[in-house]
Amino acid sequence: MHQLEFTHVYDYSGEDESVILPVVLRSGPKQLRVAASVDTGASFCLFGAEIAEALGLDLEGGIRKRFRTANSGFDAFGHEVELSVFGVATTSIVYFFADPMIEKNVLGRIGWLDRVRFGLVHHDNKAYLAQYDQG
């Protein structure tokens, strides 16, 4: 039998089937609390353009990247920010949608999931989290 240890447990039950976690994004002295969906199918963390603005970032001054989906594509701009979930913080390049009409916030594999220890028991609506190298 294998065992993993976690420092935080969160009940994410809500109105839909998404796993939504509270996130704090920080850039310099500015920080913003948002909700973001855990998406293991997303390569990167993606947030709305209005969040970049609220953090004082020059959206189009970031790293431009074209993302492709099964039926479309979109542009986003990457910026280095501190991303914190339940106090488990990491500094990462996250992307902000170029299109201000896209309002989805996503925690993806690169920049978040690859830096934490994450467990999920969807049947119980429980998410478990710890620093990757803790324990």
Residue type at 127?
A: A
Task: Return per-residue pLDDT of the chain as tens, 135 residues.
Answer: 988 899 999 998 866 778 999 999 999 999 999 999 999 999 999 999 999 999 999 999 999 999 998 888 999 999 999 999 999 999 999 999 999 999 899 999 999 999 999 999 999 999 999 998 875
The secondary element (H helix, E strand) that includes residue 49 is helix 49-54
For 70, 73, 83, 97, 98, the CA distances from 50, given in Å and listed in that order, are 25, 20, 16, 9, 10
- The DSSP code for 113 is G
pLDDT at position 133: 84
Instruction: Give pTM, 2 decimals.
Output: 0.92
Q: State pLDDT tens for residues 80-93.
A: 999 999 999 999 99
Residue 82: how many other CB atoms lie within 10 Å: 15
Residue 73: how many other CB atoms lie within 10 Å: 8
pLDDT at position 16: 73
* Cβ contact 96:62 at 8 Å: yes
Q: Which of 119, 86, 126, 127 is nearest to 4 (CA)?
A: 119
